[in-house]
Structure 1
Amino acid sequence: MYINRVSHYLPSQVIGNEYFTELNNLSSEWIVERTGIHERRKAGPDENTNTMAIEAVRILLETIPYSKNEIDLIVGATYTPYDTIVSLAHAVQHYVQLPDIPVLSVSSACSSLLNAIEIVEGYFAMGKATKAIVVVADHNTAYYNERDTVSGHLWGDGASAMVISKERQTESDLHIRALITGGAATSGKAIEAVVLRPNERGVVMPYGRDVFQNACTYMPKVSQQVLQRCGLTIDDIDYLIPHQANHRISLNVIGTLGIPESKLISNIQRLGNTGCAGCAIALSEHFDRFEKGQRIVFTVFGGGYSYGAMLVEV
């Protein structure tokens, strides 16, 4: 499989740490020390998960190396849906006007990007598709409780989209060499550590320490596994793009793996935790910097718990 192009969309509204200082008496220094976040993006009153996803797809379609009519699969991913019936992927299908193709949306919390790509892998393997749109978006600020002093200041909004093909299309394509996902609902306080129950309350994280500890365990572990599957070691990778949950987690992961900070790609400082869109947004932001032969590992961890890693090569 090959990632042909990638795009992203970010809302224009920027929320700095001083907003939470005034709201919750949390100093900017405290927030930065604990999370690495200086500011985040917030969707406007006329925006939602679907509109952000559609905007990312609009940008994407301006750059794809083939006709949109060749796309025969759309997979969406979000844990903050605007509509639970007209899913994210259906909204995108309506926008791109591609009838009678498989369209579905998935959720495995912040790991959803890799699960969406793995679904594409399955469709390709079965011969049911050859070119796919994967679109990820999270509208965290529609669900969060901004007065929650534990996690209210973590969240940002954003979307990203990519086209993936079964066969190489251009020299700049990223070759997906290996992909692993897994569930870890049996670990620690997985089913209660971070939850979003719309009928009860917003996003809450009563066991943040458990989330931190398990993320710091699973992300390095699965990164090693995806490299071993390809006969490679940590020394063979050029960049690591982790789920943008907390900069301290990212630093812990590269410390465990023995990767220098110069190889870490991070956007949480500017964007906050953009959920399952974070890694894809980071890929889009840095797509032009990657050179032929370089290898990039993506590693994710989400509530529930869920985890995964993917190795791509330019």
Structure 2
Amino acid sequence: MYLHHVAAYIPAAVVTNEHFTRLNGLASDWIIERTGIRERRKAGPGENANTMGVAATRALLAELPSFDPAGIDLIVAGTYTPHDTIYTAAHAVQRDLNINEIPTVSISSACSSLLNAVEIVEGYFALGKASRALVVVTEHNTAYNNEEDTIAGHLWGDGAAALLFTKERLAPGDLHVVQVMTGGAAPVGKADEAVTLKPIEKGIVMPFGRDVFQQACTYMTRITQQLLDKNNLTVEQLTYLIPHQANLRISANVVKQ
């Protein structure tokens, strides 16, 4: 399996740390020290998880003028902040591409939705049921966020990405996906209440951020080492380690370990 291309869409509206200084009295330096975040993007009127997913897909195809989107035979979308749970982001992308009667799947598995989406692609490829897959991940966090929440209101931003995977290599620069490893951590720590998004009750909240931080640092370090061991590699042989993680403190902690 190969990763042929990646593109992204981020909304135009920028929300700086100073916004939360004015709103909640949180100093910009305090936010940077604890998260590394200096700014985040916010979807505008009329934008949502579906529209941002479509925009990311259009950006990807615009960067691949010689690629025929009619060759896409699988669409997988991931989000935990859906605009519509029936006409999902995957279906919005399918409709925009006007590709009928191909598998179109949406998944919601919190922070690991991207990797789980890639695993779904891996399965379809292995079964011979697809050969060119579009993965779209899109989050509209601000639709569910309470900016006045002094614990976590400053953490969330919006955006989307589109990734094109192929069963066979299309170009010399394609990245070979050697192995994908995932594992749910629901039994660990305060996973049942550390971060929640209950649309009917309330928006996204993170009452136990320290638990999230500790578990993320432990899990990312352990799974990275397991992945290296399975492929007979050492940390010293790596050129890049790119965490799927927006919190700079977590990434720095993992690198240190």
TM-score w.r.t. structure 2 length? 0.98
1:16 alignment partner in structure 2: 16
- Tell me how far apart the structure 2 counterparts of residues 49 and 86 of structure 1 sit (CA, whole Å): 11
Matched with 2:205 is 204
Hey, what does 2:253 align to over in structure 1? Answer: 252
C-alpha contact (below 8 Å) 2:61/2:67 kept by paired residues: no
1:244 deviates by 2.4
Give the Å deviation of 1:226: 1.4
Q: Is the 8 A contact 1:135 1:159 kept in 2?
A: yes
Listed as ranges, the matches of 1:138-149 within 5 Å are 138-149=139-150
Q: CA deviation at 1:159?
A: 0.5
Q: Give yes or no for contact 1:53–1:92 (8 Å, CA) kept in 2.
A: yes
Task: Provide the secondary structure at the position in 1 that maps to 2:54.
Answer: helix
Distance 2:100 2:73 in 1: 9
Unaligned runs of 5+ in 1: 257-314
Mapped to 2, the partners of 1:54 and 1:163 lie a distance apart of 14
Q: For each residue in 1:286-312, what CA deviation from the matched residue of structure 2 results, as whole angstroms up to 9, or x when unmatched?
A: xxxxxxxxxxxxxxxxxxxxxxxxxxx
Q: Which has the higher strand share?
A: 1
**Does the aligned pair in 2 maintain the 1:4–1:164 contact within 8 Å?**
yes
The letter for the 2-side match of 1:253 is V
Number of aligned residue pairs: give it: 256
1:67-82 → structure 2 map (5 Å cutoff):
67-82=68-83
User: What is the rounded CA distance, in whole Å, between the counterparts of 1:123 and 1:188 in structure 2?
Assistant: 33
Counterparts of 1:102-181 in structure 2 under 5 Å?
A: 102-181=103-182
Post-superposition offset of 1:108? 0.9
* CA distance in 1: counterparts of 2:248 and 2:158, whole angstroms: 17
**Aligned-pair distance for 1:133?**
0.2
Displacement, 1:63?
A: 2.9
Q: Deviation digits for residues 149-183 of structure 1, max 9, x if unmatched?
A: 00000111110001100010001101101110001
RMSD: 0.9
SS across alignment from 1:47? coil
Q: CA deviation at 1:82?
A: 0.5
SS in structure 2 opposite 1:190?
A: coil
Q: Is the 8 A contact 2:9 2:161 kept in 1?
A: yes
Q: What percentage of aligned pairs have identical amino acids?
A: 60
Residue number in structure 1 paired with 2:57? 57
Match of 2:229?
A: 228
Kindly report structure 1 stretches of 4+ aligned residues shifted beyond 6 Å.
none
Question: Secondary structure, in 3 states, of the residue corresponding to 1:110?
Answer: helix
Alpha-carbon separation, structure 1, partners of 2:245 and 2:11: 17
Q: Alpha-carbon deviations, 1:256-300, whole Å to 9, x = none?
A: 1xxxxxxxxxxxxxxxxxxxxxxxxxxxxxxxxxxxxxxxxxxxx
1:29 aligned residue: 29
Q: Distance in 1 between matches of 2:63 and 2:74?
A: 18
Q: 1:293 matched to which residue of 2?
A: none
Which string of whole-angstrom CA distances, capped at 9 and with x for unpartnered residues, describes residues 9-29 of structure 1?
010111111100111111111
Structure 1 residue aligned with 2:7:
7
1:259-278 counterparts in 2 under 5 A?
A: none
* 3-state secondary structure, aligned to 1:228: helix
Greater alpha carbon shift after TM alignment, 135-144 vs 55-64: 55-64
1:307 alignment partner in structure 2: none
TM-score (norm 1): 0.80
Deviations 1:219-276 (A, max 9, x none): 01111111222111111211111122311001001111xxxxxxxxxxxxxxxxxxxx
- Contact 1:42-1:156 within 8 A present in 2 as well: yes
